[in-house]
Structure 1
Amino acid sequence: MAVLLLILFILSLDNSVSGADPIDIYCPPEFPFYTPNSSFHNNLKLVLGLLSSDNASKAGFYNTSIGEGPDIVYGQSLCRGDITNSTICQQCIDKASQDILNRCNSENAMIWYNLCQVRYSFQNFDVMAYTGKYPKQNGEEKNVSDPIELGEYLTYLMDTLSNLAAFEPSKNMFAAGEIGYPGNRTVYGLVQCIRDIPESQCKTCLSYAFSDLTSCCSYREGGIILDRTCNMRFQFSLFFNASSGYRLIYPTSEGGKWKYWMIVLIICGSILVLAFAIGLATAILRQKKDRDRDEEATERTLLQELSYSKSVAVTQEGDLISSDELLFMTLATIKIATDDFADTNKLGQGGFGAVYKGVLPNGNEIAVKRLSRKSWQGIEELKNEVILIAKLQHKNLVRLLGCALEGEEKLLIYEFMSNKSLDQFIFEKRSKLDWKTYYGIINGIARGILYLHEESRLKIIHRDLKPNNVLLDHELSAKISDFGMARIFSENQNAANTKRVVGTYGYMAPEYAMEGLFSVKSDVFNFGVILLEIISGKRNSGFYITELAPSLLAYGWRLWNEGKELDFVDPMLLERCLGSEIVRCMHIGLLCVQENPEHRPTMSNVVVLLGSESMALPQPRQPALCRVLRVDPLTTTNASVNEITFSDILPR
């Protein structure tokens, strides 16, 4: 019977290779394209042929290269660790090789199938950074009834498998397993890294992948995260060879009774404590070295990806790399431009670092964000900005000109905004702007968010919209900035969750602050708070000290219900405008801060409502929260807050 099941499994694998489409394909337009029948193209065909050869298939993982100079092609293939039949491995790699050759003519590409993956590039694979992908099929999975419970089981399953894959040499960087789930169901999981990376890099990659997996799919019955270095997948149905998997039991003591395996585990654990203590000091030192090496590798990869892109041209002197899209400067150039980061040139301080004004030799003004030294947060923000935001172009988004990586310095260069940030005008220089100017700023912010949500090639959730992150140019046009906390959504993805809430007190939507759930409606909530602050001239954070109401939102809601809307409006705005126009904007702001995300309008609706005075508005519902009693004191001093601590949240 066992032999028959194995034969049926092998046959099913063969069918999935011959007929199925790939899970995903990476064919980036920002990299160079090769010319058909060129030396690069011919070398590529030879490399793909080697990847699908008998020897490569038997090994299950293979690296090779052919050519020299600009025509060199590096290739890599990997079969899933539970595929022990070399014929099936070869069939998958052969199909993947043909597919990537037919579908893509970029000089850097990768394709993933269920059973294998193939990658080629004009540059070596030695240095790698995590860039996880969300395949479209994630959006096709059903939702579960209890996402929190599933998240707990997934955490235990994937953490166990990740440790096995990374630190158990016999596993060849692969592990699969299953865990019993309430309701007589089973969750199946699989993780894999390419085999020529250090154990620590494998574990780091899988940790990043799990973070993305929980964000996109911990409320679904399945999910996949793909990366150049590692993959992670789970489902409620078996999708791998069961003979290669582990059976895990979620650690719990039902009814307070100790099970035999628990006693054995405790005894064995006690025996190992002494050995663990002896090796602890060595392990800590090794991890520190690995983290430093991984950080340096990440920085080198970003630098390498930028320098190989044809949108960047390197000068002989090395001082400046210029193109139509980006500027790339050395640290020396930026030090001269900012007078060695002089305090007199400091524009502000954020959670990720300080921002300085700079003047280039040609007279152009720039803003330089100096990210925190030796900070993984800084590296992740830099990666977000360079890889993501540089591809977005809109008149209401601040343009990223480029970056610089040198030693411990991580620098982002933006176009300079002469009027700085919106918060200064709302709360400090109130009389400098009239309602007509504010109304133009409001529309600009709305159009910028709409572009991120619906009109750009990527679906982006900003997650930290606030007046500090809205900059004003010389014409007082609004430009959204600071995308270090932004998240990319797939085309069919509408929401995600995270255990690490980032954002700023007073602007976060309640579902995000309390449950880690975020979506386009989270940004809508942020916009609503900004709109109400512009109208009233008062901050939502700390509003309770006025004793007028627990929050600015609650105060606006109370006056709205009492028919005293104009009491909410800053009197200076009413001097030179129609009160009805401001009251309509207040109405839109209250619609945006409703407690249930489904009741909030989309940004496309907001833009339409702002542009039409005759269109009827629905009645708003009660805003979300009234008061947050305690905030981590560190979060109130910085202009940009990264993590928020809530002590007690009172209901309405």
Structure 2
Amino acid sequence: MRFLSSVGLPCHPWMATVILPLLLLLVPLTAAQMWPSCGESGDYESKSTYEANLRLLSSTLPKKAASSTTLFATDTVGNVPNVIFALALCRGDTNSSACEGCLVTAFQDGQEHCTNNKDAAVYYDSNPCMLRFSNQNFLATTVNEHILVIGSIESLMNFPKLLLFTLLNSTAQSAVNSSRRFTTSRLDVSSFPTLYCLMQCTPDLTADDCAACLRPYNQYTLKYMDGKKGGRVLGTRCTMRYETFPFFQGDPMLRIINLATEVPPNNNTMPIITANPAPQSQSPVEAPPPPEAQATIQELHGHNSRKRALWIITVAALLLSIFLCIICFVVWMRRRRKGTEILHDQAAMNRPEEDALAWRLEQKSSEFILFDLSEILHATHNFSKENLLGQGGFGPVYKFCTYFQGQLPDGTEIAVKRLASHSGQGFTEFENEVELIAKLQHSNLVKLMGCCIKGEEKLLVYEYLPNKSLDFFIFDVNRTTLVDWNKRCVIIEGIAQGLLYLHKHSRLRIIHRDLKASNILLDQDMNPKISDFGLAKIFSTNDTQGSTKKVVGTYGYMAPEYASEGIYSIKSDVFSFGVLLLEILSGKKNSGFHQHEDFLNLLGYSWHLSEGGRCLELLEASIVEEIHAAEASRYINIALMCVQERADDRPTMSTVVSMLNSENVNLPEPKHPAYFNLRVSKEDESGRVPYSNNADTICSNNDLTITEEPDGR
């Protein structure tokens, strides 16, 4: 029975046991027009397959129910894990048009009030329908779920229980015997208000199932609605309501004017009673009840004033108790939150840095998942070599396909990046990447699904991209033909859009600082996704550049002002993009470039060919036939503008994207590129080696050395 959540109160166990019975007695029928009941089957993501299936269901099920003679329909849409089971039922006294309109509204209300909840039921005060949808197959059973009990706040003074039970039992029997499992009734007894009642089961229930569904409702009535002017019990399989006014359409199907002679047993259960209506002309006659019933009625009449006073005192005491409970709860929560924050701060100061990171992630309730190490070990077969995808400076990367206690769908493919124990900067990179990329969302950025921090193990869990990285294709003569010119154009455009998002459109201004071919991952459709944010820097919107004493990056991709002076900006990433663009066009690495016509690196060689009008000579052989000379010249010109020596001369990524998409724009002539006559050495095994903070070293022809100094960030 989900009542507390439907009225918006916190569902603490002590409140459920103390306050729930009070609310059931005191909530008036007119307090709300709609009552949602939200399940506990988890949430679905926006724009997901589950949401699409729900949208499809909302367009078909209302029409299906409205066109049925019983105004009832069930349906199932989608496949596991996005399957949805649904049930729709309109009240038997309504018409098809009102039924369809009500169910359309119910789908909207269910999604609005049970936001992204996979299991929800919707009931109404005035609208003649109810709806339930769920990812669990509740249609396979007759279990009555999402039960709400609502009683009027007004009392029906001195009304004998025997009369009410006669009405309920007779109406229930009539509903059970009806082919539509629906009936309405009216109880007329002199000296007492007329009562109206409605009962309905879903038409797919048998008579016995309908009777079993309605039987507990008598107990709810006795417990929560004793002496109330009206009330209702709502469930997904059967419904009951009674009032002192005609709340349904048309004449009652059953009119009761004779009292049954049975009395509710002492165990508060009432058998189904069959009433025998008398002719309409006959005056209501009250049959003399047994002695037990006479005592009950006499007590009601004899102690009227005393009962009224006791009722007023009881209601006032209950309201005061609820008010005091709420005040105590609010005070307790505030003190608890304050104490928890102090304990958290103290714990963070005493924990190792990795535990403090995990603590912060839990407190922020990040959208990604904190995985258990045991699950990852099981899924990767204890990081077996069979699941190894590759090795980088951060550590090895593994692939696995598994199911994480319902957190991910069965069969989800995951890539796990494992922090190498020998990585000197490993945890700094790990912390930076987790806290940064979790805030970024773009189709050309790799999606971080979660992480794991357990002792010495530091793991990043990413979406798995089956086509590995860009360098796997463009630098391998056996695979370069798999990436034709059209695909390379899509890859170039995607990388540019991803960088533009980082520099301009994300919530934070991000400088990647390590853009290179091996950090461009490719999905199943060869769409690029920028990865590896371990070295990324965050700028405020007003800052344009920063500096560091620890220059860390990859040979061949670092801008000269960053390599020599530690100055980085968005123009540093633009330089790396220009190098990457030349590598995509030529199929050659800038690092370890073989000498061509006395030029020692790819940048100088490309500029020389462009100056001489020999652009086609730079292109990789497999795409020469697919690209026009003018188009090749335009792309090389854009790349050379990005790798100019002075940062101020380089365009922004906004300008780069515009130039890539504008074929008829006249591009300015680029100045000669950086490292014009400098040989760029090959990368070491890690893929990341810092340049020296020494301009003389940068300008030498020797291999560049490693210098590590305290970071200024």
- Deviation, 1:376, is 6.0
How do residues 366-405 of structure 1 correspond to structure 2 at under 5 angstroms? 366-373=414-421, 377-405=425-453
For 1:506, the equivalent position in structure 2 comes to 556
Closer, same or farther: CA 127–580 of 1 in aligned 2, 3 Å = farther
For 1:421, the equivalent position in structure 2 comes to 469
- Deviation, 1:636, is 2.1
2:458 aligns with one of 397, 410, 427: 410
Q: Distance in 2 between matches of 1:40 and 1:643?
A: 57
Q: Return the letter of the residue paired with 2:691.
A: I
What secondary structure is seen at the aligned counterpart in 2 of 1:347?
strand
The answer for unaligned runs of 5 or more in structure 1 is: 1-36, 45-65, 75-120, 129-196, 198-292, 312-324
What secondary structure is seen at the aligned counterpart in 2 of 1:543?
coil
Q: Return the letter of the residue paired with 2:474.
A: I
1:537 aligns with 2:582: no
The answer to whether the Cα contact below 8 Å between 1:40 and 1:72 also exists between their aligned partners in 2 is no
How do residues 259-270 of structure 1 correspond to structure 2 at under 5 angstroms? none
1:328 aligns with 2:370: yes
The answer to whether the Cα contact below 8 Å between 1:328 and 1:403 also exists between their aligned partners in 2 is yes
For 1:138, the equivalent position in structure 2 comes to none
For 1:643, the equivalent position in structure 2 comes to 690
Closer, same or farther: CA 363–595 of 1 in aligned 2, 3 Å = same
2:623 aligns with one of 553, 569, 573: 573
Q: Distance in 2 between matches of 1:413 and 1:651?
A: 41
How do residues 62-461 of structure 1 correspond to structure 2 at under 5 angstroms? 67-68=335-336, 71-73=337-339, 121=341, 124-128=344-348, 297-311=352-366, 325-361=367-403, 362-373=410-421, 377-428=425-476, 429-461=479-511
- Deviation, 1:327, is 2.4
Q: Distance in 2 between matches of 1:40 and 1:478?
A: 52
What secondary structure is seen at the aligned counterpart in 1 of 2:438?
helix
Higher mean alpha-carbon deviation, 537-546 vs 402-411, is at 537-546
Q: Return the letter of the residue paired with 1:529.
A: V
Closer, same or farther: CA 648–488 of 1 in aligned 2, 3 Å = same
Closer, same or farther: CA 516–38 of 1 in aligned 2, 3 Å = farther
Q: Distance in 1 between matches of 2:392 and 2:442?
A: 24
For each residue in 1:503-537, what CA deviation from the matched residue of structure 2 results, as whole angstroms up to 9, or x when unmatched? Answer: 10000001111111110000000000000011111
Q: Return the letter of the residue paired with 2:510.
A: I
- Deviation, 1:42, is 5.6
The answer to whether the Cα contact below 8 Å between 2:552 and 2:688 also exists between their aligned partners in 1 is yes
Q: Distance in 2 between matches of 1:435 and 1:629?
A: 29
The answer to whether the Cα contact below 8 Å between 2:591 and 2:680 also exists between their aligned partners in 1 is no
For each residue in 1:347-399, what CA deviation from the matched residue of structure 2 results, as whole angstroms up to 9, or x when unmatched? Answer: 12111211111111311111110012275622211211221110100000000
What secondary structure is seen at the aligned counterpart in 2 of 1:126?
helix
- Deviation, 1:39, is 7.6
For each residue in 1:24-60, what CA deviation from the matched residue of structure 2 results, as whole angstroms up to 9, or x when unmatched? Answer: xxxxxxxxxxxxx98898679xxxxxxxxxxxxxxxx
Q: Distance in 1 between matches of 2:700 and 2:555?
A: 17
- Deviation, 1:345, is 1.7
What secondary structure is seen at the aligned counterpart in 2 of 1:648?
helix
What secondary structure is seen at the aligned counterpart in 2 of 1:446?
helix
Q: Return the letter of the residue paired with 1:648.
A: T
Q: Return the letter of the residue paired with 1:303.
A: A
- Deviation, 1:580, is 2.1
Q: Distance in 2 between matches of 1:39 and 1:488?
A: 44
What secondary structure is seen at the aligned counterpart in 1 of 2:415?
strand
What secondary structure is seen at the aligned counterpart in 1 of 2:538?
strand
Q: Distance in 2 between matches of 1:485 and 1:337?
A: 29
Q: Return the letter of the residue paired with 1:379.
A: F
Closer, same or farther: CA 577–306 of 1 in aligned 2, 3 Å = same
For each residue in 1:447-492, what CA deviation from the matched residue of structure 2 results, as whole angstroms up to 9, or x when unmatched? Answer: 0000000000000000000000000000100000000000001111
- Deviation, 1:547, is 5.8
Q: Distance in 2 between matches of 1:410 and 1:610?
A: 39
Closer, same or farther: CA 630–597 of 1 in aligned 2, 3 Å = closer
Q: What is the Cα-based RMSD across aligned positions, in Å?
A: 2.4
Q: Return the letter of the residue paired with 1:472.
A: L
Q: Distance in 2 between matches of 1:357 and 1:420?
A: 11
1:518 aligns with 2:560: no
- Deviation, 1:342, is 1.5
- Deviation, 1:615, is 1.6
TM-score of the two chains, using structure 1 as the length reference: 0.53
Q: Return the letter of the residue paired with 1:124.
A: H
The answer for unaligned runs of 5 or more in structure 2 is: 1-325, 404-409, 702-713
For 1:598, the equivalent position in structure 2 comes to 648
Q: Return the letter of the residue paired with 2:335.
A: G
For 1:619, the equivalent position in structure 2 comes to 669
The answer to whether the Cα contact below 8 Å between 1:127 and 1:297 also exists between their aligned partners in 2 is no
1:476 aligns with one of 502, 526, 534: 526
1:559 aligns with 2:634: no
Closer, same or farther: CA 73–374 of 1 in aligned 2, 3 Å = farther
What secondary structure is seen at the aligned counterpart in 1 of 2:344?
coil
Q: Return the letter of the residue paired with 1:404.
A: C
1:494 aligns with 2:541: no
The answer to whether the Cα contact below 8 Å between 2:402 and 2:411 also exists between their aligned partners in 1 is yes
For 2:513, the equivalent position in structure 1 comes to 463
Structure with greater helix percent = 1
Q: Say which one has the larger Rg.
A: 2
- Deviation, 1:308, is 2.7
The answer to whether the Cα contact below 8 Å between 1:402 and 1:413 also exists between their aligned partners in 2 is yes
What secondary structure is seen at the aligned counterpart in 2 of 1:124?
helix
The answer to whether the Cα contact below 8 Å between 1:371 and 1:411 also exists between their aligned partners in 2 is yes
Report % sequence identity. 47
The answer to whether the Cα contact below 8 Å between 2:610 and 2:633 also exists between their aligned partners in 1 is no
Closer, same or farther: CA 377–586 of 1 in aligned 2, 3 Å = same
Give structure 1 regions of 4+ aligned residues with deviation exceeding 6 angstroms: 37-41
Closer, same or farther: CA 549–328 of 1 in aligned 2, 3 Å = same
What secondary structure is seen at the aligned counterpart in 2 of 1:410?
strand
Q: Distance in 2 between matches of 1:336 and 1:642?
A: 34
What secondary structure is seen at the aligned counterpart in 1 of 2:555?
coil
Q: Distance in 2 between matches of 1:614 and 1:127?
A: 61
- Deviation, 1:403, is 0.3
Q: Distance in 2 between matches of 1:609 and 1:39?
A: 64
- Deviation, 1:579, is 3.0
Q: Distance in 1 between matches of 2:663 and 2:394?
A: 41
Q: Distance in 2 between matches of 1:642 and 1:400?
A: 25
- Number of residue pairs aligned between Structure 1 and Structure 2: 366
Q: Distance in 1 between matches of 2:647 and 2:584?
A: 22
Closer, same or farther: CA 72–623 of 1 in aligned 2, 3 Å = same
TM-score of the two chains, using structure 2 as the length reference: 0.49
Q: Return the letter of the residue paired with 1:440.
A: V
Closer, same or farther: CA 425–449 of 1 in aligned 2, 3 Å = same
Q: Distance in 1 between matches of 2:564 and 2:423?
A: 26
Q: Return the letter of the residue paired with 1:67.
A: R
Q: Return the letter of the residue paired with 2:455.
A: G
- Deviation, 1:495, is 0.7
Higher mean alpha-carbon deviation, 346-355 vs 554-563, is at 346-355
For 1:587, the equivalent position in structure 2 comes to 637
- Deviation, 1:435, is 0.4
For 1:173, the equivalent position in structure 2 comes to none
Q: Distance in 2 between matches of 1:127 and 1:308?
A: 13
